[in-house]
Amino acid sequence: MKIEKVKMRDRERTKSKILKAVGNVIEQHGTGKVGVNLIARTAGVNKVLIYRYFESVDGLMEQYVKSGEYTSTTSTDYIENIPPLAPEERSKALTSLMHTFMNDLLERKATRDLLRWEIGTGKSMLSDARNQIATRILDKIGNLPNYNDTSALVSFLSASIYFMTISTDYREKMIDIDLHSDEGWKRIEKVIERIIMDIHN
């Protein structure tokens, strides 16, 4: 029994190394270089293990999206730690989710690069993985009390966050919002909070 636990721990540690390596490869070499050989070399593992644990590069990328390496809000731990919420607590939880998601994208260039690649190639597999995760999160948070289409609200806010965070790699400002300053992003945080609170009330 003890040997099995050690094997399981080693397996999870190796999978985590491989998933971290995906982000490192994207950040250092771009999405065009994502492949089994370079990921295995970066992770310091035999490439056979990538096929054993993830079956294919597509399977690996799907797991990367579902891991906390992509954004913390897509991790199993994040979802499982959302407590049961009373209706009046949902707007605060939703605001926190959007703020965390935005800050993750600002901090993780690899995730922004992957989003750009996905949009450019039309790889729906990554979108499908994100949609499954978002559905699980929204099921846990629940609809806002006075608004029964919270998924449309989250879709709209997420798309806005995607575009604005990706824009930080290309431009300094959006209208008069400085995309490279804390002050600029605080303004966006306040708008997100205001939208959610206004709909909640």
DSSP character at residue 85: -
126 within domain boundaries: yes
Q: Please write down the long-range contacts of 142-145, taking CB distance under 8 Å and 24 or more positions apart.
A: 142/85, 142/87, 142/90, 143/90, 144/87, 144/90, 144/91, 144/94, 144/196, 144/199, 144/200, 145/87, 145/88, 145/90, 145/200
pLDDT value at residue 104: 94
| In a shared domain, residues 30 and 120 | no
| In a shared domain, residues 116 and 37 | no
181/179 Cα distance (integer angstroms): 6
Place of tokens 């909640």: 200
pLDDT value at residue 151: 93
| In a shared domain, residues 13 and 104 | no
Q: What is the CATH number of the domain that holds 32?
A: 1.10.10.60
Helical segments of the chain, H only:
2-29, 36-43, 47-54, 57-65, 76-80, 90-107, 109-121, 124-141, 150-167, 182-200
| In a shared domain, residues 11 and 77 | no
pLDDT value at residue 156: 96
What is the extent of the structural domain holding 115? 72-200
| In a shared domain, residues 172 and 90 | yes
- Structurally, the chain folds into a number of domains equal to 2
| In a shared domain, residues 52 and 86 | no
| In a shared domain, residues 170 and 136 | yes
64 within domain boundaries: no
Radius of gyration of the chain (CA): 19
Mean pLDDT by 10 residues, the chain (201 residues): 63 88 86 85 90 86 83 87 92 95 93 84 75 92 90 94 94 96 97 93 75
| In a shared domain, residues 32 and 76 | no
77 within domain boundaries: yes
Is the sign of the CA dihedral 144, 146, 148, 153 positive or negative? negative
51 within domain boundaries: yes
| In a shared domain, residues 51 and 149 | no
| In a shared domain, residues 78 and 130 | yes
143 within domain boundaries: yes
Is the sign of the CA dihedral 73, 119, 128, 151 positive or negative? positive
67 within domain boundaries: no
98 within domain boundaries: yes
| In a shared domain, residues 85 and 168 | yes
pLDDT digits (tens, 9 = 90+) for 89-116: 999 999 999 999 999 999 999 889 888 8
pTM summary value: 0.82
pLDDT value at residue 100: 95
53 within domain boundaries: yes
| In a shared domain, residues 130 and 170 | yes
Reduced to 3 states (helix: H, G, I; strand: E, B; else coil), residue 144 is coil
